């Protein structure tokens, strides 16, 4: 049930010439939004999924900083309408929080925080996409990993689409390191084998990919090697189990890649003390993954 607050109204004071005026207003319920478009690298379009109040706006900041900025105000919000945040930097993660207001122009009583999202700007224009059975396995494994709810929780993403911002393909520039993240790279095997003859020729492709995870160690476990390693291993183990369960299945319009084997290549390993001072205190593990697709 909404709360009723009494707030100071400076506009009423100026117009009436009174020392103070109290206005009774009802606090709106928290609103909700979701990412609709994130392709330019400098702007993100959010769609209203729960409309509240007489107006709505988004507050946003670069993740890890303190100061929030305001989006434009959406007047008389309705489900399906959009709010755009522009002037962003490509490849940067932002905290985004939705608020509703009891009056127009973002005035009056503000709601409790609504949707709280972590979104990384992504530029897709000019990016070369995977298009065939030689390159697609990397993108397909990204889809499979992003669907893991444990991975989504680990990176602080609200959906599989948001989680993809923390999964890098092929390589990762040193300046782009923002843990936790995953990196998918090509393996040392790829094959396409004919399983038919004549007009019914069919090929099955398969191969290997490398999957690396990095995650900072919680400050609660810094001085407890067992807790630090088990926390990391428990998360990674849960992610692999969820990928196993989704492998080869279909959800909506997404058909997940079939994975037949996870083979540990390296780790889990914690940064050495002399490196930890400059690179952070984190764990890393690398798997070799066997996959197969029917064409």
CA separation for the pair 285, 233 (Å, rounded)? 9
pLDDT of residue 18: 36
Segment 167-188 shows an average pLDDT of: 84
pLDDT of residue 132: 87
Same domain, 104 and 156: no
What is the domain-level CATH number for residue 275?
Answer: 3.30.2000
Q: Pick the more confident residue, 293 or 219.
A: 219
**How many structural domains are present in the chain?**
2
Whether 71 contacts 81, CB under 8 Å: no
Q: What is the CA radius of gyration of the chain?
A: 24
Domain-ending residue, one of 87, 120, 153: 120
Of 148, 172, 168, nearest in space to 160 by CA? 148
Same domain, 59 and 150: no
CA separation for the pair 145, 147 (Å, rounded)? 5
Domain-ending residue, one of 66, 87, 120: 120
Q: How confident is the model at residue 50 (pLDDT cuts 50, 70, 90)?
A: very high
Evaluate whether residue 126 is within a structural domain.
Answer: no
Tell me the pLDDT tens digit for each residue of 56-99. Answer: 999 999 988 899 999 999 999 999 999 999 988 887 889 999 99
Same domain, 100 and 200: no
Evaluate whether residue 69 is within a structural domain.
Answer: yes
CA separation for the pair 3, 30 (Å, rounded)? 12
Same domain, 8 and 105: yes
Length of the chain: 295
> Phi/psi of residue 276, each to 5°?
-60, -30
Q: How confident is the model at residue 209 (pLDDT cuts 50, 70, 90)?
A: very high
Domain-ending residue, one of 120, 144, 164: 120
pLDDT of residue 3: 44
Domain extent at residue 55:
4-120
CA separation for the pair 149, 197 (Å, rounded)? 42
pLDDT of residue 186: 93
Tell me the pLDDT tens digit for each residue of 226-239. Answer: 999 999 999 999 99
User: What's the gap between Cα 293 and its chain centre?
Assistant: 27
Q: How confident is the model at residue 40 (pLDDT cuts 50, 70, 90)?
A: confident
pLDDT of residue 41: 80
Whether 33 contacts 83, CB under 8 Å: yes
What is the domain-level CATH number for residue 104?
Answer: 2.60.40.10
Mean pLDDT estimate for the chain: 84
Helix (H, G, I), strand (E, B) or coil at 138: helix
Q: Pick the more confident residue, 201 or 60.
A: 60
Segment 37-44 shows an average pLDDT of: 83
CB proximity list for 271: less than 8 A, separation 6 or greater? 279, 280, 281, 282, 284
CA separation for the pair 57, 51 (Å, rounded)? 11
Same domain, 111 and 27: yes
Helix (H, G, I), strand (E, B) or coil at 209: strand
């Amino acid at each position: 049930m909404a709360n009723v607050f009494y707030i100071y109204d400076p506009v009423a004071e100026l117009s009436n010439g009174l020392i103070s005026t109290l206005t009774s207003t009802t606090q709106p319920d928290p609103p909700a939004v979701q990412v609709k478009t994130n392709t330019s690298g400098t702007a993100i379009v959010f769609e209203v999924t729960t409309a509240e109040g007489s107006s709505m706006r988004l507050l946003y900041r670069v993740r890890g900083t303190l100061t929030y900025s305001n989006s434009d105000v959406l007047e008389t919000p309705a489900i399906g309408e959009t709010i755009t945040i522009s002037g962003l930097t490509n490849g940067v993660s932002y905290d985004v929080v939705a608020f509703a207001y009891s009056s127009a122009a973002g005035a009056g009583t503000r709601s409790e925080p609504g949707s709280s999202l972590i979104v990384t700007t992504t530029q897709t224009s000019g990016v070369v996409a995977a298009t065939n059975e030689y390159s697609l396995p990397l993108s397909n494994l990204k889809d499979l990993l992003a669907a893991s709810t444990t991975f989504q929780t680990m990176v602080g993403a609200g959906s599989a689409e948001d989680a993809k911002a923390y999964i890098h393909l092929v390589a990762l520039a040193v300046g782009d390191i923002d843990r936790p993240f995953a990196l998918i790279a090509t393996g040392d095997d790829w094959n396409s084998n004919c399983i038919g003859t004549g007009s019914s020729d069919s090929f099955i492709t398969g191969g290997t990919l490398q999957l690396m995870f990095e995650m900072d160690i919680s400050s609660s476990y810094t001085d407890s090697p067992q807790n630090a390693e088990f926390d990391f291993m428990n998360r990674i183990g849960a992610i692999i189990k969820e990928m196993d369960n989704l492998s080869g299945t279909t959800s909506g319009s997404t058909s997940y890649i079939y994975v037949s084997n996870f083979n540990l290549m390296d780790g889990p390993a914690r940064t050495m003390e002399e490196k930890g001072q400059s690179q952070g205190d984190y764990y890393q593990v690398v798997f070799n993954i066997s996959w197969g697709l029917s064409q």
